[in-house]
Chain A
Amino acid sequence: MIEALPIFLDALSFVLILVLVASGLVIVFGMMGIINLAHGELFLLGAYTVVVAQGLGAPFWLAAALAPLVVGLAGLAIELLLVRFVVHRPLDTILATWGLSIAIKQIVVLAFGPGSHSVAVPIDGAISVGGFTYPAYRIVLMVVATAVIAGAGYVLVRTRMGLLARAVIARPDTSANLGINTGRVTQVSFAVGAGLAGLAGALVAPLISVDPQMGLGFLVPAFLAILVGGAGSMTGLVAGGSLVGGLDSLLGGWVSPVLAQITVFVLAILVIRLRPGGLFPGRGRRP
């Protein structure tokens, strides 16, 4: 039993990372219906913020706290300069954000080169339980990710800001009639979604190689996790993320990682096709 623990911890940490990456997307895509193909690049910007801040001598946790602010501001700029003009043409949003993702990736290549960077692990050492050891940073990451996901869910469901966001997202016309500044709420929601992606990128950066192509690898699983769980709710995302991420990670230790990913994607497509609302349909706007 104790031998299987690292495998389950790996799976759990992958699930939490995936849910963290997708938590920004669930607001932007799942609820607002904006198919943001540049979400992977927002994640990428978060990781590069840490690279830059560490290069300037900032400690990791300061850099990680800075990342959501930087990327959130970038998200606000993206909403103001691009998304606002195409949001009423959903399919064109896909194209515009795809163009944006190419541009961001290429700006990063121009600024930092196409190669990969590494971020120093902020917490060295390992925690030893029973007969095996597990990297301490992964444990910390799992705790932080859980807190952030729970916090995002709390803000959405229990606060006035979350209520406004959900109102505008579900019934934009009614909300406008009730005097809510829907444009402002949309901007803030988009920026928060971007900030969450940036935070995810910063927290994951020490565990993976930070390179300009890192966004795409997370983009597709994140979308699939949201659709499998049911677009439009944090509960759905956690369920979808657990299925997509957990199965991928567990199968990957058993068969080859490529075969695992293919299996998971095929299963996810089957679920999405047979249950278009997802496993836990939310009340958000559906594209």
Chain B
Amino acid sequence: MNRLTPSFSAATAAVVFVALALVPVLDSGYWTGQATRYVLFGMFAMSLSLLWGRAGLLAFGHAVFFGIGGYGMASLTMGLFGDGTVWALLARPWVALPVSVAGAGLAAAALGWFLFLGRGVSGAYLAIITLSVAVIVEQAVRGVYALGGDNGLVGVPALGAWAANPFDPVPMFYAVLVTAVVVYVGLDLLLRSRVGALLTAVSTNPDRLGHFGYSVFAVRLGAFVLGAAIAGLAGAMFVATDGFASPSLIGFGLSAEVLIWVALGGRSIVLAAFLGAVAVRLAEAFLSGLLGDFWLLALGLVFMGSVVLLPQGLIATPMLWLNNRLGQGSKSKSRAAPGPANEGMV
């Protein structure tokens, strides 16, 4: 099927993350700072890949959770809520970070409960409803004066690793990269476990999963909350890196962008989604100056072409090809048949 073997997956992930770890060696200034953001966007893309590529939930408003993590981090560390003992404790960056992540997860639990309970919404209805939610949340945040309105929150304190010397982006980069590796390995292990089989089942045939006695609601809600928490983590770290939480992080624009990254990279392979985000941001950094207004046109056209011709994604397709090519010697054509993971599930 459309899955990578564990060894191929581990090898490509090792190559990608080691290559990223070498970025500060090449340039410890501007590009390390940029790479930090790319890796965080990549983490954000991984969380959407879990939701959309695996659980089959096309969320058109995923930036809402990125933004909740970001605004949570910003408002807590800037002490917007007051000076009491509890708030002082929550204002510490390493305390605020998990609290913001939990906030994103809780918001997703509430929204997911509403969306998936009973005869829940899925497919196109889910896309339109989440799109509307993103528009609502962005407008609400823009209208709240305490959160900075249109200007956002400026002056978010840096995380510990970077706070010692705010002009050196290297410590924060490695903190972010290690987090991304941990998230990736965690997701990879999770998706190869029973949970991965359940997610595949819920996206391909939810009714049959229900007949087997599983709760479709619980699987969808779990995926939604986990995806939102990872997005919130990326958002919180992004805001701490940038020192700035703006309404554009929480709304429709970024939601649509992350969808493009994941679609271009490859929705069903977490690493391809990660690389999709990094590649599009990198291409934008180089090409938007060169092409000017033609850049967005090119992105739109490439995106259209990729959806029609290579729906697996521009990065996942060659990865799968190489994977199948290398695996042909040992496994011959057995990959076309249901794999061992599926048998284990039944």
Which of the 9-residue segments B20-28, B134-142, B271-279 touches chain A? B134-142
Q: At the interface, yes or no: B299 with Cβ under 8 Å from chain A? A: yes
- In the complex the two chains form, what is the Cα distance from A220 to B58 in whole Å? 17
Name the contact of B304 in the complex, choosing from A100, A109, A287 (C-beta under 8 A): A100
Return chain A residues, CB-CB under 8 Å to B300: 99-103, 105-106
Q: Which residues of A contact B299 (CB under 8 A)?
A: 102
* Contact pattern, A 105-119, Cβ under 8 Å of B = 1, otherwise 0: 111011000000000
Residues of A within 8 A of B136 (CB): 262, 265-266
B296 touches A102 (CB 8 A): yes
Once the chains bind, are B123 and A110 in contact (CB under 8 Å)?
Answer: no
Interface string of A181-202 (1 = CB under 8 A from B): 0000000000000000000000
Q: B303 at interface (Cβ–Cβ under 8 A)?
A: yes
Minimum distance in angstroms from A228 CB to a CB of chain B: 11
- Count of chain A residues near B, Cβ 8 A: 41
Please name all residues of chain A whose beta carbon is closer than 8 Å to the beta carbon of B293 when the two chains form the complex. Answer: 106, 109-110
From the candidates A98, A103, A266, A287, name the one contacting B124 in the complex (CB within 8 A). A287
With A287-B123, A287-B124 as contacts: A103 and B129 at CB distance below 8 Å = no
Residues A106 and B296 in contact, CB atoms below 8 Å apart = yes
> B128 is contacted by which of A101, A223, A256, A261 (Cβ under 8 Å)?
A223
What residues of chain B lie closer than 8 Å to A33, measured between beta carbons? 124
State the CA gap A78–B124 with chains docked (Å).
20
B114 within 8 A of A: yes
CB proximity of A60 to chain B, nearest CB, Å: 29
Known interface pairs A109-B293, A265-B132, A269-B133; A94-B304 also in contact (CB < 8 Å): no
- Closest-by-CB residue of A relative to B124 is A287
Asked whether B123 lies within 8 Å of A91 as measured between CB atoms, the reply is yes
Main secondary structure of the interface of A (DSSP, over half): helix
Minimal Cβ-Cβ distance residue in B for A33: B124
With A92-B311, A99-B304: A261-B139 Cβ-Cβ less than 8 Å: yes
Contact flags A245-287 to B (C-beta < 8 A → 1, else 0): 0000000000010110110011011001100100000000001
Cβ contacts A217-231/B at 8 Å (1 or 0 each) = 000100110010000
- B114: chain A residues at CB < 8 Å are 273
- In the complex, are the beta carbons of B304 and A96 less than 8 A apart? yes
Contact status B58-A94, CB under 8 Å: yes
A86 within 8 A of B: yes
Given the interface pairs A100-B300, A265-B136, the reply to whether A259 lies near B143 with Cβ below 8 Å is yes
Nearest B residue to A107, CB-CB: B297
B308 located at the interface, meaning its Cβ lies under 8 Å from any Cβ of chain A in the complex = yes
Interface residue B121 (Cβ < 8 Å from any Cβ of A): yes
Chosen A-B contacts, 20 in total, with CB atoms closer than 8 Å, are: A90-B123, A92-B311, A94-B124, A95-B263, A95-B307, A103-B300, A109-B293, A109-B296, A110-B294, A223-B132, A224-B132, A227-B125, A256-B143, A258-B139, A265-B132, A265-B136, A269-B132, A272-B129, A273-B129, A276-B125
